[in-house]
Amino acid sequence: MASTTSPAGFNETPLVAQARKGDLSAFTQLVEKYEGKIFRLARHITNSQEDAEDILQETFLKAYEHLGEFQGNSKFYTWIVRIAVNESLMKLRKRKSDRTVSLDEQIDTGEDVIAREIAVWEDNPEDQYSQTELREILDEAVKSLPPIFRSVFVLRDIEELSSEETAEILGLTVPAVKSRLLRARLKLREKLTRYFKRKGDDIFDYL
């Protein structure tokens, strides 16, 4: 197994190797390392604290049960994120009020024409809004995105994964990831402009 490093520079390889041999303590350390990120990801996708808690449990239970199937071709972190995303989308599909489009839907507009990061907050964004209010507005706008776009946006612009990692996790092509990210950003721009009425203001100038 090739050496793999988490997004934060954490070398997970020794713990993964021990966990695959049945070392529960090693797996517990992996859980402790990543549970915060997995919970946050699930909460962003489902918009539910309760669902996110269930997904967190299911993600690591499934990861432990299928640990022998993990071949080390990608980071362990990427593997469990993929499990968490699948669990989150399954949870959404069970909600009668939130029917989703198939994850393999193709959108043929995949040009990466918008700046990579928009969820980075600079100082003094808008005088009439506090930092907290701006974050709340953005959070609500993200929650309103359709799940197929929300998943890509969360992974790319909030979790800051690469297009390639996002494509691998969601089972999409890189152009499809870029297409959905573009659509998500455009939808967010449209939703956020309603909060900024002053002529010439653009919320994305402050993100």
DSSP, res 5: B
Q: Do domains 13-93 and 131-205 have the same CATH topology?
A: no
Alpha helices for 21-130 (secondary structure H)? 24-46, 49-65, 76-93
May I ask the CATH architecture of the domain 131-205? Orthogonal Bundle (1.10)
One pLDDT digit (tens) per residue for the chain, 207 residues: 444 445 556 688 899 999 988 888 899 999 999 999 999 999 999 888 999 999 999 999 999 989 988 887 788 999 999 999 999 989 888 875 544 444 444 333 343 333 323 333 334 444 445 667 777 778 888 888 888 899 999 999 888 898 999 999 999 999 999 989 988 888 888 777 766 654 344 444 444
What φ, ψ does residue 154 adopt, rounded to 5°?
-60, -45
Neighbours of 87 (CB within 10 A): 24
Residue 24 in tokens:
């529960």
Q: What is the pLDDT of residue 18?
A: 92
Per-residue pLDDT tens digits for 145-178? 888 899 999 999 888 898 999 999 999 999 999 9
pLDDT computed for residue 138 by the predictor:
80
Question: pLDDT digit string (tens) for 188-201?
Answer: 887 777 666 543 44
Architecture of the domain defined by 13-93: Orthogonal Bundle (1.10)
Residue ranges covered by each domain of the chain: 13-93, 131-205
pTM (whole model) above 0.75 = no
DSSP three-state, residue 11: strand
Distance between CA atoms of residues 102 and 42, nearest Å: 18
Q: At CA 14, angle to CA 9 and CA 15, rounded to 5?
A: 90
